[in-house]
């Protein structure tokens, strides 16, 4: 069977939550027993988000195969069982790049190369890439209807219906229905205009998802139906919620999945959402809370740590706890004393990052956690900072550093190993995507994973310098995980500390609400123990 396609477009404004809507839809269709996948098409000209500022674009999400992608792919993996890849995120830049390459290679046999059909053909090929084996493929088109850049993508979408027919394609459009305080009512005009815009390029939506700050009643739905030419039952109210994991249930109440299956002429198997509901209930009724200090650069949106904060929420939910995020700017630690800034932390987490700003503060956070036996979790850059801290203050290697921050350091604890080895592949000098790691017996890592072979995703340039392994181990650093092929250090721990863990990889990318990541789960558990002990000694 060839896959059926659902296209999700957006109107009126950006940031209406199209990614979460697409992911929620995916969840619902999976709950009905269908095999689905979700892809994102972004009309901007960057080849991928890898080089874009996380403060502008949010987090860069890394897939198993090392694609640097839009953060919506993280939602797709967290909400559904799909595994995303290079073939799941496309930008106009990437599409143009392959068209222009083909043109240079003479692939168009002397024809004039045009947006229609050549670019749109390339987009359609990307719609279809890695789509086989799925019953339904959800395609999220980034941007807002009416954007110049988005036109070729919408044109390709229109052509898909012509090629595959109405039973095999479905158009869902997400719009905003704003509440006007002055008149005390919800306004449908922006939705009408947005759908009109879509229709002018040949796309009549089958479903409109109406985002609003309150539920949309029957009368208003009838009005939207009349003006947009969408049947009443397919006008879906998507009201604001406090918790993104509620959205699949909200859509289920509106029977969105039922309508989709009817339109795609697929059997409406019964819906299985028990586990999801249980998870949500636990998330919404925690028995207690735990404070986690996140020490990073927080000048911008917290979207730049999206997978990380979600992984903490998943792990806390597994313990029926609520996690309080204490966002600490690393520079404040440099300026203030760590014991003041980190006073309420039950656990300290130093996440990944790039660049020298705040490094000394992150190192001080690791010192504080080591000395006061506070659970410490260092991810990538955080692991590097903890190792540098140990080298300087325990192993006595004065001035120890990573060459990323100090090229002339007397002790290069982290350095560009791949560059020295002359390894450059798709990711250039960056180590990207999933790599295996072999875990030492009876380590904290072994207790966490309960197995000795794991695979985790990477995104970094600098590596632990093998020349310092012996010296640091002798001083009490436990090296409990290594890459089996190159013997690179992947996990560090501390002797005599209740919970101190640093990993070179990013476990947060693989955490899901129904499958919290074991490291995060263990970290939250240890932080809660620390909190209880702290409360007891304060009492
Ligand atoms: N900047 C460090 C490196 O490139 C860490 C990267 C990260 O934390 N993702 O190795």
Q: Which of 380, 385, 437, 503 is catalytic?
A: 380
* Average of per-residue pLDDT across 222-241: 96
Tell me if residue 68 is catalytic: no
* Average of per-residue pLDDT across 64-77: 96
How large is the C-alpha radius of gyration of the chain? 25
What is the C-alpha to C-alpha distance for residues 380 and 59, in angstroms, rounded to an integer?
A: 15
Domain end (from 232, 260, 278):
278
Q: For the segment 461-493, what is each residue's pLDDT rounded down to a tens digit?
A: 999 999 999 999 999 999 999 999 999 999 999
Cβ atoms of residues 437 and 456 within 8 Å: yes
User: Do 269 and 310 fall into the same domain?
Assistant: no
Domain end (from 278, 296, 312):
278
Which of 61, 460, 464 for a ligand 1 pocket mutation test, highest count of atoms within 8 Å of Cβ?
Answer: 460
User: Do 211 and 330 fall into the same domain?
Assistant: no
User: Do 234 and 312 fall into the same domain?
Assistant: no
Q: For the segment 421-443, what is each residue's pLDDT rounded down to a tens digit?
A: 766 554 467 899 999 999 999 99
Q: Which two tokens stand for residue 361?
A: 């503060």
* Average of per-residue pLDDT across 363-383: 97
Q: For the segment 182-199, what is each residue's pLDDT rounded down to a tens digit?
A: 999 999 999 999 999 999
**What kind and span of H or E run contains 175?**
strand 169-176
Q: Find tokens 């043109």 and name the residue.
A: 103
pTM here is 0.95
User: Do 223 and 358 fall into the same domain?
Assistant: no
The answer on pLDDT for 538 being more than 70 is yes
β-pairing, 376-379 vs 347-350, is: parallel
**What CATH number is attached to the domain comprising 364?**
3.40.50.880
Which of 369, 343, 306, 358 lies closest to 72 in space, CA to CA? Answer: 306
Domain end (from 223, 248, 278):
278
User: Do 190 and 334 fall into the same domain?
Assistant: no
**Considering only 55-64, 217-226, 286-295, 368-377, which range has the smallest mean pLDDT?**
55-64
Tell me if residue 508 is catalytic: yes
User: Do 390 and 454 fall into the same domain?
Assistant: yes
* Average of per-residue pLDDT across 55-81: 93
User: Do 264 and 291 fall into the same domain?
Assistant: no
Number of structural domains (the chain) is: 2
User: Do 338 and 261 fall into the same domain?
Assistant: no
Alpha carbon 442 to its chain's center: 31
Q: Domain span at residue 410? A: 286-538
Which of 61, 68, 349, 354 for a ligand 1 pocket mutation test, highest count of atoms within 8 Å of Cβ?
Answer: 354
Q: For the segment 87-133, what is each residue's pLDDT rounded down to a tens digit?
A: 999 999 999 999 999 999 999 998 999 999 999 999 999 999 988 89
- What's the count of helices (H) and strands (E) in the chain, helices before strands? 20, 23
Longest distance between any two alpha carbons in the chain, whole Å? 82
User: Do 453 and 374 fall into the same domain?
Assistant: yes
User: Do 90 and 226 fall into the same domain?
Assistant: yes
**Cβ of 380 below 6 Å from ligand 1:** yes
Tell me, what's the pLDDT at 366?
97
Tell me, what's the pLDDT at 300?
59
Tell me, what's the pLDDT at 190?
95
What is the C-alpha to C-alpha distance for residues 417 and 406, in angstroms, rounded to an integer?
A: 16
**What CATH number is attached to the domain comprising 10?**
3.40.50.300
**Cβ of 375 below 6 Å from ligand 1:** no
User: Do 135 and 259 fall into the same domain?
Assistant: yes
User: Do 264 and 290 fall into the same domain?
Assistant: no
Residues in the chain: 539
Tell me, what's the pLDDT at 426?
47
Tell me if residue 385 is catalytic: no
* Strand, helix or coil for residue 24: helix
Q: Whose CA is nearest to atom 8 of ligand 1?
A: 352
């Amino acid at each position: 069977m060839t896959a059926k396609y659902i296209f999700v477009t957006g109107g009126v404004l950006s940031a209406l939550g199209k990614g979460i809507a697409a992911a929620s839809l995916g969840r619902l269709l999976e709950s009905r027993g269908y095999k689905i996948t979700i892809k994102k098409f972004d009309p901007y000209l960057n080849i991928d988000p890898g080089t874009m500022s996380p403060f502008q674009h949010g987090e860069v999400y890394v897939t198993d195969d090392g694609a640097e992608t839009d953060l919506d792919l993280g939602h797709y993996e967290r909400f559904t069982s799909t595994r995303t890849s290079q073939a799941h995120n496309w930008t106009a830049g990437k599409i143009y790049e392959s068209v222009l390459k083909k043109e240079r290679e003479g692939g168009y046999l002397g024809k004039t190369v045009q947006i229609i059909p050549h670019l749109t053909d390339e987009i359609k090929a990307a719609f279809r890439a890695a789509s086989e084996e799925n019953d339904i493929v959800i395609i999220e088109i980034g941007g807002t209807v009416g954007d110049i850049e988005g036109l070729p993508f919408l044109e390709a979408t229109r052509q898909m219906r012509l090629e595959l027919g109405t039973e095999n394609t479905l158009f869902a459009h997400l719009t905003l229905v704003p509440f006007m305080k002055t008149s005390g009512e919800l306004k449908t005009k922006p939705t009408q205009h947005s759908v009109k815009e879509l229709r002018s390029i040949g796309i009549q939506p089958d479903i409109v998802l109406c985002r609003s700050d309150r539920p949309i009643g029957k009368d208003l739905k009838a009005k939207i139906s009349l003006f947009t030419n969408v049947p009443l039952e397919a006008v879906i109210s998507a009201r604001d919620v406090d918790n993104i994991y509620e959205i699949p249930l909200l859509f289920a109440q509106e029977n969105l999945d039922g309508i989709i299956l009817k339109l795609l002429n697929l059997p409406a198997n019964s819906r299985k959402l028990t586990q999801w509901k249980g998870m949500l209930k636990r998330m919404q009724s925690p028995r207690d809370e735990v404070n986690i200090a996140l020490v990073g650069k927080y000048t911008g949106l917290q979207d730049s740590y999206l997978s990380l904060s979600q992984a903490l929420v998943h792990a806390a939910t597994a313990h029926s706890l609520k996690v309080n995020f204490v966002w600490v700017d690393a520079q404040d630690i440099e300026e203030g004393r760590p014991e003041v800034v980190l006073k309420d932390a039950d656990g300290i987490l130093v996440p990944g990052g790039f660049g020298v700003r705040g490094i000394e503060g992150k190192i001080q956070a690791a010192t504080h956690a080591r000395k006061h036996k506070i659970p410490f979790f260092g991810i990538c850059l955080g692991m590097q900072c903890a190792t540098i801290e140990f080298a300087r203050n325990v192993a006595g290697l004065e001035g120890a550093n990573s060459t990323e921050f100090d090229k002339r350091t007397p002790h290069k604890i982290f350095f560009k190993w791949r560059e020295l080895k002359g390894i450059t592949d798709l990711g250039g000098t960056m180590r990207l995507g999933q790599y295996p790691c072999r875990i030492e017996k009876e380590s904290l890592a072994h207790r966490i994973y309960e197995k000795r072979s794991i695979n985790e995703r990477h995104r970094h340039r600098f590596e632990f310098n093998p020349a310092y392994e012996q010296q640091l181990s002798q001083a009490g650093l436990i090296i409990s995980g290594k890459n089996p092929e190159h013997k690179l250090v992947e996990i560090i721990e501390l002797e005599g500390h209740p919970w101190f863990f640093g990993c070179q990889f990013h476990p947060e990318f693989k955490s899901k609400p129904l499958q919290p990541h074991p490291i995060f789960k263990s970290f939250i558990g240890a932080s809660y123990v620390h909190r209880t002990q702290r409360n007891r000694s304060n009492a």
